A and B are shown apart, each in its own frame.
Chain A
Amino acid sequence: MKPVKALIADDEPLLRERLRAHLAVLWPDLVLTDDARNGTEALELFAAHRPDIVFLDIRMPGMNGIDTARALARSAHLVFVTAYEQYAVQAFDQGAVDYLVKPVDRMRLADTVERLKRQLPGSAHDHAAMAATLDRLAARLGHRAATPARWLQWIKASVGNSVRLIPVEQVHFLRAEEKYTRVVWDEGEALIRKTIRELADQLDPERFVQTHRSVIVNLASVREVVRGMNETADLHLRNGGEVLPVSRSYLHHFRQM
């Protein structure tokens, strides 16, 4: 009979070794391939060794355990290994997927080994249920991770010999100056390469409005709007200083103010 092969994927070396040691005792015939340190390596090693079982850590750098599982689900028995994922465990408990919590308990691992031996040779999983569980997991973990914002949250600007990351809420206004754009914020000003047009698309329109071909202003910084001639206006800012122009085509932003 062909020996059963397994692959361990975990970014923490001590935990890989510990799982190896447990398995050596509980399942001496199991052949362990080289370990994977992340999802990408897991896929490479899987392609090279075609293991029957994959032990997958959920949080790994690069490709995480869930995405790796999606790629592997049809071709191997999967066992997730996780330290503490409250939401993930809920998803697991609905069946379909084997899981272990770290530190791995030997009795619990023995149960898993028995189950795997019974299932093995045979089709890996109920694919539909597996896919549903992975979707739930991905949704839960994705929900917990900071969802990337659509709008620019930081402006990168060279100040001296360093690149400052300026939080947009500290920016008062941005104004085109020849080839550059000048950023004025709480602590000073700097020139950046992004154009007003690019910035107008990238900044949250709830907080920043373009008032002129060459000017974008943070609405929170505006103290008052002074109407001028010919459907134009001047913006006076809270901290004094520069008066910004509002041209006719952008005046509608301030009709309500």
Chain B
Amino acid sequence: MTRPTSLRFPISACLPARRHAAVVTAFTLLLSLPLHRISGSPYLEVFGHVGCVGAILLVAYSAAVALRPRWLGPRLARLAAIVLAAPVAVLVTFLIAQRGNVVAFLLKPQSQTAYVAMVIMALLFGVPFSLIAMRSERRQRERADRLQIELEKNRLERELLDVRLRMLHAQIEPHFLFNTLANIEALVASGSPNAAPVLRHLIAYLRAAMPRVNDADATLETELQLVRSYLELMRLRMPDRLRFAVAAPPAAALRFPPMALLTLVENAVRHGIDPSVDGGEIDVGGRCDPRTGAMTLWVSDTGVGMPETATPGTGLSNLRSRLHGFYGDTARVDLHEVAPHGVRVELHFQLKERA
């Protein structure tokens, strides 16, 4: 009787928590002791009554949330369940104790007093116990929420760290930086009027390549500006070998994963143009089908091309997953060969907001 889990309730959500069952068992065992002293009835009989009432109240408390009508909040539902269940619980207990002869029994004024006393006692203990239980549940929930928030914060911090490392280690190559600075030093030393604009390109590139907390303001427009700055710097360094064209973007304000195009352009310079004695041309552009919202961006070079055994770097697969993150799983990265030599990389994705 004091093991409510043995009750066959249809929904497991209605079953009391093990902790609550233990508390109710312990308390009813304890409470039966003074009642046994006062009433003079045998301890087991008293405990039979008190325990039965406690068990019924516990089940009512536990089932209240699952069975409550929609307009009733969970806290109110539990309190209402206790208040309504108390007279019923005592009645049921008497019914069991009197083996069904409850009507005759209740007609005695003495028994009526006992009934009322028992109901009052049930309410007296049941209601505060429910309040305490609800408060401890709320605390537990808050602790779990805090833990969840903490985990989420950790995850974000890890991601930010990852972004920082990626930017610092992979993007600003020291060789690139010092070589560019050496070129700027040469311009300054010779009093060239190009020095200031070139320095501005370097500043724009460095600013974009620095770790940022918030990528939200990165657009296709800013990405193409970055690409232009980078290509201007490279043209300064290899004026006889690098030609380039960067077209105006079809959807300038589109949110765009920062450095996604730049990575491709850097690859085109590093693996396409730089190894070539004669150099080549880099073409960056895009088009958007206004009817379907299908977007294509490309970086094409006429450099040395790619051998079929060239190990694909992690850049391409990273790019693929970043595009998926931004534009959904239909985003693709395609590679094409450019005749007679060179590589064209195309990004395909669907615009979410159609223009």
Contacts and interface: CB of A to CB of B under 8 A. Distances in A.
Contact of B186 (A18, A61, A147): A18
A27 interface: no
A101 interface: yes
B10 interface: no
A189 B101 CA distance: 85
A103 B239 CA distance: 19
A148 B310 contact: yes
B190 interface: yes
Contacts of A11: 238, 241
Contacts of A151: 309
A59 interface: yes
A83 to B, nearest CB: 4
Contacts of B275: 61-62
A198 to B, nearest CB: 12
Given A83-B179, A153-B312, A187-B332, 6 more contacts: A18-B186, A38-B277, A61-B241, A101-B178, A103-B186, A155-B308
Nearest to A61: B277
Interface string A176-198: 00000000000100000000000
Contact of A17 (B186, B316, B337, B344): B186
A83 B173 CA distance: 11
11 contacts: A12-B183, A14-B236, A14-B237, A15-B182, A59-B175, A61-B274, A102-B178, A149-B310, A156-B337, A163-B339, A167-B312
B312 to A, nearest CB: 6
B187 A14 contact: yes
> Which 10 pairs between the two chains have the least Cβ-Cβ distance?
A102-B182, A103-B182, A18-B186, A165-B335, A163-B337, A83-B179, A83-B178, A103-B185, A14-B186, A84-B174
Interface residues of B, number: 41
Interface in A61-90: 61-62, 83-86
A128 interface: no
Interface in B318-355: 332, 334-337, 339, 343-344
Point out which of A13, A62, A147 has the most chain B C-beta atoms below 10 A from its C-beta.
A13
B307 interface: yes
A167 B345 CA distance: 13
Nearest to B311: A149
Contacts of A162: 336-337, 344
A40 B275 CA distance: 13
A13 B238 CA distance: 7
B240 interface: yes
A18 B195 CA distance: 14
Interface string A137-155: 0000000001111111111
A110 interface: no
Nearest to B345: A165
A124 B313 CA distance: 41
A146 B236 contact: no
Interface string B159-189: 0000000000000001101110111011101
B275 to A, nearest CB: 5
B276 interface: yes
A221 B310 CA distance: 23
Contacts, number: 114
A21 interface: yes
Interface in B89-135: none
B306 interface: yes
B238 A152 contact: no
A180 to B, nearest CB: 17
A146 B309 contact: no
Contact of A21 (B189, B276, B277, B316): B189
A207 to B, nearest CB: 14
Contact of B190 (A17, A38, A61, A85): A17
Most buried by B among A11, A14, A21: A14
> Among B179, B239, B336, which residue has the most Cβ atoms of chain A within 10 A?
B179
Contacts of B334: 164, 187
B213 to A, nearest CB: 28
B182 A18 contact: yes
Interface string A25-51: 000000000000110100000000000
A185 B272 CA distance: 26
B182 A154 contact: no
A104 interface: yes
